[in-house]
Amino acid sequence: MKMKRRNATKKEPMLLGWRFLTVCGVILFAFVALFARAAWIQVVSPDRLRMEGDLRSLRTAVSSTTRGMIMDRNGEELAVSVPVQAVWADPKQIHEEMSLRKEQAWQALAEVLGVPRETLLARVQDPKRRFVYLQRQVTPAVAEYIRKLRLPGVHLRPEERRFYPTGEINAHLVGMTNIDGAGIEGIERAFNEWLTAQPGERRVRKDRTGRVVEDLGVVSEGREANHIQLTIDQRIQALAYRSLKRASEFHRATSASLVMLDVKTGEVLAMVNTPSFNPNNRGQYQSFRARNRAVTDTYEPGSTLKPLIVVSALENGIIRADSIIDTNPGWVRLGGKRVSDTRNLGAISVETVLQRSSNMGMVRMALQETPEQLLDTLYRFGLGIDSGMGLVGESTGMVPQRRRWSDIEKATLSFGYGVTVTPLQLAQAYAVLANGGVRYPLTIVKRSQAPAGEQVIPRQHADDVLKMMESVIGPGGTARQAAIPGYRVAGKTGTSRKAIAGGYGSDYVGVFAGMAPVSNPRLAMVVVINEPQGDEYYGGQVAAPVFAEVMSGALQLLNIRPDAATEEQFQLAGQEAKRGPHT
């Protein structure tokens, strides 16, 4: 009975038409609105959102580049790039993730970077900044330590650092780069564009995790860096630097330079200076120490200019190779100034003029020539002009140009005053003498083939003067300390007082320039010792021993045979020794 009542009281659900229609209308309107919005975005105005999407996903990927190597003539590396890391921070991320609360980690970071903790914290104080360097060019070991600290907002990025395996030996020649890898000194600067690679750029699309999901093509093509092979022989370079540094320290010289050339090709085999610096330690860098004095500093060559003046006198018919020069009475007064030798040498040969470095002999020759004849000879030897090697800061020296020349001006020019040259220019002039009067263009970069030389002075005159200069090394000469056992050496000493305001001071420059072996000259070298202190300051005392040591080593390293006559003398001496004493 109860069951029937419940069934009787149960009512059928009522469908309200207006409510149903309202719900359907709302749903339909929402679909229409969504469809209209999608149509608007996809068809009518897609550019803005497409741009917004690209800003969040499109990136330009830059390919990594490595700076070109610098090598010596035998392929030994003089400058290479090594991978390092840069430590940088995102201050905004640091503040958002409360990274500064990890005080111990920040203290460890400061200690490993060698920077006060307060300094590091000051760099990341601005929460609006997104990038700041904490330190550049840290070693891989330091980078790994920082990575393990797991400091939010502190990141690493790869970069490269220039490393110079030979250190201070080649510092002036090779130079160095700044922290961004651009050359600022030496070969690094002179050939910076050649050594620098151009990174390539590609347009890519990345997802939110940084993975590349689409490669959209090349934006710009990259360019590989070029290597440079120098003409320097690192074995000779190291020998030259060691010997020059030892002599410079012994004589307490302000500076010193050495240049060695291959007379057959014009290639620079060695170029060193003291004092030097370590290019791997930027804390030692000082601009005055980085100057390549062999090409930037000029000196009055003193008596080393005399062989060139003798060539001029021979060429212009003033003297012959076998002429006798009357130097009596050993002095002469020109324009109120006295020119003299250390003693009266009387009537002497041209060879003796060079052997004994007679100022009077040179004056007798020079006064018979015109200034134009003297200067023309100097220019043909390469003085007063650029070498064309393109080294940073190279000086052309100074060959005087006057409308009127007094006798004293011509006289002083004949023994190396009033004209300035670089060690490189003087070495080139002596290479011309050694090569029979042929001048080759100088180069510091290895050539595929030797260029054609130019005959700038007659061969006979060059050979005559070369033989005369050999007597300078022998008994009675001014450079007996330049002799090398087994080889015939020719050269000339020079000692000039340094010019100061109003005249000349008490400081000297000691120079020796020479070539070997005389029978078939291969190498020419100049050694300059600037402002030696103490009792020894003559070129034959301070520069000639360096020449002998370096030239001897270079001749052996290059397997250059001793002169034939000397070799025969050694063989005869050995045979005599085997026979025993004469009866």
Chain segment 534-572, per-residue pLDDT in tens: 899 999 999 999 999 999 999 999 999 998 655 444 444
| Residue 503 domain-assigned (yes or no) | yes
Q: What global pTM score does this model have?
A: 0.83
Q: Are residues 453 and 562 in the same domain?
A: yes
How much is the pLDDT for 159?
87
Q: Are residues 225 and 238 in the same domain?
A: no
The answer to whether the CB of 67 falls within 8 A of the CB of 151 is no
**Could you tell me the CA-to-CA distances from 454 to 29, 461, 521, 534 in Å, in that order?**
95, 15, 17, 43
pLDDT digits (tens, 9 = 90+) for 369-401: 999 999 999 999 999 999 989 898 999 999 998
User: Is 272 found in the same domain as 134?
Assistant: no
409 in Cβ contact with 401 (< 8 Å): no
- Which of 40-49, 116-125, 163-172 has the highest average model confidence (pLDDT)? 163-172
Residue 581, in any domain of the structure: no
Residue 409 C-alpha from the chain's centroid: 37
Residue 222's pLDDT is what? Answer: 67
Identify whether the C-beta of residue 92 lies closer than 8 Å to the C-beta of residue 130. yes
Q: How far apart are the first and last CA of the chain?
A: 168
Which region holds residue 416: left if phi is over 0, alpha if psi is between -120 and 50, else beta? left
Q: Are residues 209 and 257 in the same domain?
A: no
Asked if residue 510 and residue 374 are part of one domain, the reply reads yes
**Are both 220 and 252 inside the same structural domain?**
no
Q: How confident is the model at residue 66 (pLDDT cuts 50, 70, 90)?
A: confident
Q: How far apart are CA 6 and CA 416, in angstroms?
A: 138
| Per-residue model confidence (pLDDT) at position 352 | 95
Which among 200, 229, 258 is the end of a domain? 229
98 and 192 in a single domain? The answer is: yes
Residues belonging to the chain: 583
- Name the residue type at position 78: L
Amino acid at 245: K
Whether residue 149 contacts residue 105, with contact meaning beta carbons closer than 8 Å, is answered with yes
pLDDT band with cut points at 50, 70 and 90 for residue 199: confident
What are the start-end ranges of the E strands in 420-489? 438-439, 454-455
Euclidean distance between CA atoms 187 and 70, whole angstroms: 9
Residue 354, amino acid? L
For residue 494, give the CATH number of its domain: 3.40.710.10
Minimal CA–CA distance to 249: which of 285, 275, 280, 220? Answer: 275
Q: What CA–CA distance (Å, rounded) separates 414 from 412?
A: 5
DSSP β-ladder status, 70-71 and 228-229: parallel
CB 473 within 8 A of CB 298: no
192 and 268 share one domain: no
Q: Which of 309, 303, 345, 302 is nearest to 324 (CA)?
A: 345
At residue 103, the pLDDT reads: 87
Q: Which two tokens stand for residue 115?
A: 């920077």
Q: Is residue 387 part of a domain?
A: yes
Query: Which pLDDT band holds residue 578 (cuts at 50, 70, 90)?
Result: very low
Give residue-wise pLDDT tens across range 331-358: 999 988 899 998 999 999 999 999 999 9
Give the rounded distance of the alpha carbon of 399 from its chain centre: 27
The pLDDT score that the predictor gives to residue 504 is 84
- Can you tell me the distance from the alpha carbon of 318 to that of 560, in angstroms, rounded to the nearest whole number? 37
Last residue of a domain, one of 210, 229, 248: 229
**Residue 188 burial (10 A CB sphere; 0-12, 13-18, 19+):** buried
What number is the average pLDDT over the span 40-46? 72
The CB-side HSE value for 339 (13 A sphere, CA atoms) comes to: 24
Confidence check: pLDDT of 171 > 80: yes
User: Under a CB-based contact definition with an 8 Å cutoff, are residues 325 and 350 in contact?
Assistant: yes
219 phi and psi angles, rounded to 5 deg: -90, -50
Q: Within a domain: residue 459?
A: yes
Residue 172 lies in a domain: yes
pLDDT for residue 5: 55
Each residue of 182-192: pLDDT tens digit?
A: 999 999 999 99
Q: State the Cα–Cα distance between residues 234 and 236, nearest whole angstrom.
A: 5
Instruction: Kindly state the average pLDDT of the residues 452-476.
Output: 94
Domain end among 161, 195, 229: 229
Considering the domain architecture, whether residues 522 and 412 belong to the same structural domain is answered as yes
How far, in Å, CA of 234 to CA of 553, rounded?
A: 12
Burial of 325 (0-12, 13-18, 19+ CB in 10 A): buried
| 213 and 241 fall within a common domain | no
H-only helix segments in 483-530 = none
Query: What are the strands, taking DSSP E only, across 275-381?
Result: 324-326, 331-334, 337-340, 347-349
Top-confidence range, 15-24, 94-103, 478-487: 478-487
Q: Which of 243, 255, 257, 303 is catalytic?
A: 303
- For 7, residues 6+ apart whose C-beta sits below 8 A from its C-beta are none
Can you tell me the mean pLDDT for 163-180? 93
Which range of residues forms the domain containing residue 202? Answer: 62-102+109-116+123-229
Q: Residue 320's pLDDT band (boundaries 50, 70, 90)?
A: very high
Say which residue the tokens 């006979």 belong to. Answer: 460
Mean pLDDT of 479-504: 90
Condensed to tens digits (0 to 9), the pLDDT of residues 271-308 reads 999 999 999 987 777 777 889 999 999 999 999 999 99
Look at residue 208 and tell me whether its pLDDT is greater than 80. no
**3-state percent helix, strand, coil for the chain, nearest multiple of 5:** 40, 25, 35
d(Cα 551, Cα 546) in Å, to the nearest integer?
A: 8
Closest CA to 538 of 385, 338, 357, 364: 357
Q: How far apart are CA 133 and CA 180, in angstroms?
A: 13
Confidence band, pLDDT 50/70/90 cuts, at residue 214: low
451 in any annotated domain? yes
In a domain, 241, yes or no: yes
Q: How many C-beta neighbours within 10 Å does residue 582 have?
A: 5
Residue 293: phi, psi to the nearest 5?
Answer: -65, -20
In the structure, what pLDDT confidence band is assigned to residue 26 with cuts at 50, 70 and 90? Answer: confident
Residue 99 CA to residue 125 CA, distance in Å, equals: 12
The model's pLDDT over 90-119, given as tens digits with 9 standing for 90+, comes to: 999 888 888 888 889 899 999 999 999 888
Mean pLDDT of the chain: 87
**What are the backbone dihedrals phi and psi of residue 438, each rounded to the nearest 5 degrees, phi first?**
-95, 130
Count the domains in the chain. 2
Over range 493-505, report the average pLDDT.
Answer: 85
Cross-strand partners of 79: 70
Any domain includes 344: yes
pLDDT number for residue 62: 64
Angstrom distance (rounded) from CA 542 to CA 536: 7
In this structure, are 332 and 245 located in the same domain?
yes
Contacts with 32 (C-beta within 8 Å, 6 or more apart), sequence order: none
Catalytic residue flag (residue 303): yes
- Both 212 and 259 in one domain: the answer is no
- Cα 445 → chain centroid: 11
- Predicted confidence at residue 581, as pLDDT, reads 38
Instruction: Name the residue with tokens 């610098």.
Output: 70
By mean pLDDT, which of 104-108, 228-232, 240-244 is the weakest?
104-108
pLDDT at 564: 65
Q: Which residue has the higher pLDDT, 509 or 288?
A: 509
